[in-house]
Amino acid sequence: MSQAKSPSVVAVVLLAWLIPVSGYFMIGERSRGITAGIAIVALFLAGLLVGGIRIADPPGWGQYGYMTQLVQRYNTRSHQMFDFYTRVDPSSAEQARDPADDDRDHSIGPALYHQPQAELADKPWYLGQILCGPIALLASSVSVNAAHPPPGSALESWPSSHSRSWEIGALYTAVAGMLNLLVIIDSAQRAST
C-alpha cells in the first residue's frame, strides 16, 4: 500500500499567498480552506467598501497616482550633493521651480527601487494588505489608476478619504492580510507533519 505524497512546504506557502487559503486545499483540508477564504476575502472587501478603493495605497506612489522619485540636488553655494524625495504630481507645488534657484536637480529614479525601507515606513499598513496576495495588487492597481487626474484638471479623479472611514478600511484590509498570514503558517505547518 503506497501513501500519497504530501506537497512540499514551499509549494504550500507560495500557493497559499498567491491564492489565499489554497494551501489548505493542497493538503486536503477543504472545509477549513473555504471557511478561512470566505473570512479573508470578505474582510478585505469590507475594508474596500468602508474606506474606498484608495485605501490600497502602495508604497512608491504619490497622492495623484504618479511614482515617487528620488532626486539628487547639487547645491552650488555649498558644493554638496544631497538626496530628497519628490512626488511627481502634475499639480504639486513641489514641481514649481524658482527661476532664480541655481541648484541643479538630477533624478535618480523611483524611490521604491532605491530606498524601499523609507517608502515602506511611509505606508506601513501596506505590509498587511499585501499579505492578501494578488487581490491587494489588483486593488492597488485600480487605486493608482483612479488617482490620476482627468486630462486638463489639477484635481484627482477619485479622491482619497482622510477620515476615520479610511483608517477603518485600511485596518480591515491589513487584518485580512494578517489573517491570511496565519492561514499560510498553519497550512505550512500542517503540510510539514
114 touches 121 (CB < 8 A): no
Q: Using CA atoms, how far apart are residues 35 and 68, in angstroms rounded to an integer? A: 39
Condensed to tens digits (0 to 9), the pLDDT of residues 119-132 reads: 778 888 888 999 99
Question: Both 35 and 128 in a single domain?
Answer: yes
- pLDDT at residue 83, rounded to an integer: 54
- Look at residue 14 and tell me if it is in a domain: yes
Domain span at residue 106 reads 68-119
In the block, cell 530628497 appears at 84
Q: 137 and 84: one domain?
A: no
Query: How far is it, in rounded angstroms, from Cα 121 to Cα 21?
Result: 28
Alpha carbon distance 108, 111 (integer Å): 8
CA atoms within 13 A on the CB side of 60: 12
- Return d(Cα 82, Cα 84) in angstroms, integer: 7
Q: What is the mean pLDDT of residues 34-52?
A: 94
Percent of the chain with pLDDT over 90: 32
Does residue 4 belong to any structural domain of this protein? no
- Say what the pLDDT of residue 176 is: 96
Q: Which of 167, 145, 193, 174 is nearest to 52 (CA)?
A: 167
What is the C-alpha to C-alpha distance for residues 159 and 32, in angstroms, rounded to an integer? 38
What does the block give as the cell for 130?
499585501
Q: How many domains does the chain have?
A: 2
pTM for the full predicted model:
0.72
Distances (CA, A) of 134 to 28, 33, 43, 98, 104: 23, 17, 15, 43, 40
Alpha-carbon dihedral angle through residues 50, 39, 57, 84, given to the nearest 10 degrees: 130
Question: Do 29 and 49 lie in a common domain?
Answer: yes
pLDDT, tens only, 151-177: 666 565 556 666 788 889 999 999 999
Q: Is 37 in the same domain as 131?
A: yes
For 72-114, how does the pLDDT look when each residue is reduced to its tens digit (9 = 90+)? Answer: 666 666 666 555 555 554 444 444 444 444 455 555 566 666 6
Q: Is residue 178 part of a domain?
A: yes
Residue 1 lies in a domain: no
C-alpha to C-alpha distance for 158 and 74, rounded to whole angstroms: 36
* 99 domain-assigned: yes
Query: What local confidence, expressed as pLDDT, does residue 105 receive?
Result: 53
Give yes or no: residues 132 and 95 share one domain.
no
